[in-house]
Chain A
Amino acid sequence: MPAAPVAASAEQGSQKSVFGAIAAIIGAVLTALGVFSGWVTLGPSGNTVTDSMWSMVAGEGFLKSNDPIALVALAAGAFVVGILLAVGAGRTIMRVAAALIGLAIVVVAALNWMSISSFVTDNFTSEVEVKTAVGFYMVVVGGILTALSAMLPAKK
């Protein structure tokens, strides 16, 4: 019967993924919180300062970046994907979107961190150290959770 696979596919497309939705929404929240938490700790020992990623939007010099805006937008996207996974709309498309958004979150975070780290290493005296702060890890975990949400099973 040729109609059977089409019906099965349509049914799969409307399946709700509660676990996927939870993972994507937690990923979105973690990413958003991470952007507003400490991102990078800079300074010679005894005089360190921790800046949030969001402060880079209006930041000075090498800490000026639009990456936080991109991450907030990606977090919003992950949240929407989570909601749609919960209601079971366009599951296949939402799974692809979740994977891409999660990957993008991790890549943007890593590139931002690498640019700061290499700038400090290349320009400042070696007394200036650059370290990741808690927000960085929150964003990376948020991105991974969002990507993982694509792989979690739908409700049978």
Chain B
Amino acid sequence: MTSYPLANTAALVTGGGSGIGLGIARRLATDGATVTICGRTESRLLHAISEIGPIDGPGSLHPVVADVTAEESVQAAVQAAEQNAGGPLSAVVSNAGGSTSIGPVTHLDKQSWSDTVALNLTGTMLVLKHGAASLVRNGGGSFVAISSTAGSLVHPWFGAYGPSKAGVDQLCRQAADELGASAVRVNSVCPGLIDTDLVEFITAGGEVLDSYRENTPIARVGTPTDIAALVAFLVGPESTWLTGQTISVDGGQGLRRGPSLASVLEPLFGEEGLRGVVAADTDS
């Protein structure tokens, strides 16, 4: 007899239309959860649901268009997820993220920095604010933020990505302390290099991928299912005394160091640019 450990779980997964988010949504739904996936592009969400196909058991998938950087949009997404589930949420996965600021720190521009922080950190804060309120109404639940090894391990030239993910980890610890009294658990998961479209430019091969492998004891590229397995555990009934933790799923990369993007960035910024030299006419 098939068991569904997440039956009666009402979940929201942001950035659920592709990559890690899609992998998480698939896992939660096949484990029996009613999952609402949100993202900015409706066609991508619908494609994701059709790609997963029919789900055996009580689980289901529902799309809602939302931009995690806009508070009203996040609020509406939480309400839509509650409507889909017929009540408050018991699991929220804040997965939407990315970076528009790859480059040396002396070449960072304010807009790219702000956009990356808005997507990764402010977006997680907004999903936490409205998602956790629903978890509290439910009488408890699990909030999981998808962070990154770049939040704790130095990743040179990753711009605002690492700092914003470090903020996500600290936000989760703070929220875990605040919300424990309401039986809401808050944890962050830190993936290493995962095989998704977002990093296809790395996983396709080359010196950056080689650098990742050299710094990863289990030297393979991770998959969305690697991350989804931990998220299912954190959302499920076997982790009810686990909160405030930052857990890496990275093949052990956290034991060593971040990758070098030098082979990609040196042609763009020059050897001097990578060590911080800025031409006089671009120093603004």
Task: List the B side residues contacting A9 at CB < 8 Å.
Answer: none
Q: Is the CB of A61 within 8 A of B273?
A: no
Nearest-neighbour CB distance to chain B for A109, whole angstroms, equals 20
Give the bracket for the number of chain A residues in contact with chain B: 20 to 34
CA distance A45 to B121 in the complex (A): 30
* Among B100, B112, B208, B267, residue most surrounded by chain A Cβ atoms (within 10 Å): B267
- Nearest residue (CB) in A for B104 is A125
Q: Is the CB of B109 within 8 A of A126?
A: yes
The interface bits of chain B over 242-284 (1 if a CB of A lies within 8 angstroms of the residue's CB, else 0) are: 0000000000000000000001100111100100000101100
CA distance A138 to B180 in the complex (A): 64
The interface bits of chain B over 56-85 (1 if a CB of A lies within 8 angstroms of the residue's CB, else 0) are: 000000000000000000000000000000
Nearest-neighbour CB distance to chain B for A57, whole angstroms, equals 12
CB within 8 A of B202: which of A46, A59, A61, A127? A61
- Nearest residue (CB) in B for A124 is B102
Q: Is the CB of A46 within 8 A of B281?
A: yes
Any chain B CB within 8 A of the CB of A153?
Answer: no
If over half of B's interface residues share one DSSP class (helix, strand or loop), that class is named, otherwise mixed; here it is helix
The interface bits of chain A over 42-68 (1 if a CB of B lies within 8 angstroms of the residue's CB, else 0) are: 111111010100000001111010000
Task: List the A side residues contacting B108 at CB < 8 Å.
Answer: 125
CA distance A51 to B267 in the complex (A): 10
The interface bits of chain A over 3-16 (1 if a CB of B lies within 8 angstroms of the residue's CB, else 0) are: 00000000000000
CA distance A42 to B99 in the complex (A): 19
The interface bits of chain B over 192-210 (1 if a CB of A lies within 8 angstroms of the residue's CB, else 0) are: 0000000001101111100
Q: Is the CB of A47 within 8 A of B268?
A: yes
Q: Is the CB of A64 within 8 A of B204?
A: yes
CA distance A60 to B202 in the complex (A): 8
CA distance A18 to B111 in the complex (A): 56
Task: List the B side residues contacting A59 at CB < 8 Å.
Answer: 206
CA distance A42 to B205 in the complex (A): 20
Task: List the B side residues contacting A123 at CB < 8 Å.
Answer: 99-100, 102
Q: Is the CB of B111 within 8 A of A126?
A: yes
Q: A44-B268, A128-B103 given as contacts; is B109 within 8 A of A61 (CB)? A: no
Nearest-neighbour CB distance to chain B for A48, whole angstroms, equals 8
Q: Is the CB of B103 within 8 A of A45?
A: no
Any chain A CB within 8 A of the CB of B159?
Answer: yes
Nearest-neighbour CB distance to chain B for A117, whole angstroms, equals 14
CA distance A5 to B263 in the complex (A): 65
Q: Is the CB of A60 within 8 A of B208?
A: yes
Any chain A CB within 8 A of the CB of B30?
Answer: no
- Nearest residue (CB) in A for B284 is A127
Any chain A CB within 8 A of the CB of B164?
Answer: no
Which residues of chain B (99-147) have a CB below 8 Å from chain A? Answer: 99-103, 107-109, 111-112
Q: A46-B279, A124-B102 given as contacts; is B268 within 8 A of A62 (CB)? A: no
- Nearest residue (CB) in B for A130 is B268
- Nearest residue (CB) in B for A48 is B268
7 pairs, A vs B, C-beta closer than 8 Å: A46-B279, A60-B208, A61-B204, A125-B103, A125-B108, A125-B112, A127-B282
Residues of B within 8 A of A (CB): 98-103, 107-109, 111-112, 159, 201-202, 204-208, 263-264, 267-270, 273, 279, 281-282
Residues of A within 8 A of B (CB): 42-47, 49, 51, 59-62, 64, 119, 122-128
Given contacts A124-B100, A124-B101, A124-B102, 15 further A-B contacts (CB under 8 A): A43-B267, A44-B269, A46-B279, A46-B281, A47-B279, A49-B267, A60-B207, A60-B208, A61-B202, A61-B204, A122-B98, A122-B100, A124-B268, A125-B107, A127-B109
The 5 closest A-B pairs by CB, nearest first: A62-B201, A125-B103, A46-B279, A60-B206, A61-B201
